[in-house]
């Protein structure tokens, strides 16, 4: 049973617009959430994280929102740029150094 779900396999967004990637989780014990970005034939790289005690974390063009009651988080990218085209993995763990559970990923295409 999937504990971290990314229900959109792909998303296309116009350059300059906002990209919103969504993620749901089922395990209420998850305490820490991360987003990773992955280019083809490369390993994922860490993008941004959020602790369950917060509802928002911002880093430049990237903002992650957490709704604990809905067990939902989202990644906002504003403005979207061509280099943002990649696969984005949502991930969760029970604390900041515990085993990470990954979602299936969402492929983001930024259109010129």
Partner 1 sequence: DGGITQSPKYLFRKEGQNVTLSCEQNLNHDAMYWYRQDPGQGLRLIYYSQIVNDFQKGDIAEGYSVSREKKESFPLTVTSAQKNPTAFYLCASRSSGTTNEKLFFGSGTQLSVL
Q: Is 99 in the site for partner 1 (CB under 8 A)?
A: yes
Residue placing its CB nearer to partner 1 in the complex, 39 or 82: 39
- Part of the chain binding partner 1 (CB under 8 A), chosen from 11-19, 56-64, 72-80, 103-111: 103-111
CA distances for 100 relative to 16, 47, 93, angstroms = 32, 15, 5
15: its two tokens: 């350059």
Count of Cβ atoms closer than 10 Å to residue 2 Cβ: 12
1: its two tokens: 């049973």
Note whether 87 and 38 are within 8 A (CB): yes
Q: Is 9 in the site for partner 1 (CB under 8 A)?
A: yes
For partner 1, which residue of 52, 71, 72, 102 counts as binding (CB under 8 A)?
102
- Part of the chain binding partner 1 (CB under 8 A), chosen from 4-12, 54-62, 67-75, 77-85: 4-12
Which one, of 93, 92, 83, 39, lies nearest residue 62 by Cα? 83
User: Would you tell me which residues interact with partner 1 (CB under 8 A)?
Assistant: 4, 6, 9, 32, 34, 41-46, 49, 89, 91, 93, 96-105
């Amino acid at each position: 049973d999937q504990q971290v779900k990314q229900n959109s396999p792909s998303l296309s967004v116009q350059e300059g617009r906002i990209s919103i990637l969504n993620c749901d989780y089922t395990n209420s014990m998850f305490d820490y959430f991360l987003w990773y970005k992955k280019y083809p034939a490369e390993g994922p790289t860490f993008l941004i994280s959020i602790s369950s005690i917060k509802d928002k974390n911002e880093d430049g063009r990237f903002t992650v929102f957490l709704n604990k009651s809905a067990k939902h988080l989202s990644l906002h990218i504003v403005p979207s740029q061509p280099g943002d085209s990649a696969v984005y993995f949502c991930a969760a763990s029970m604390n900041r150094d515990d085993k990470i559970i990954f979602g299936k990923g969402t492929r983001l295409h930024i259109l010129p």
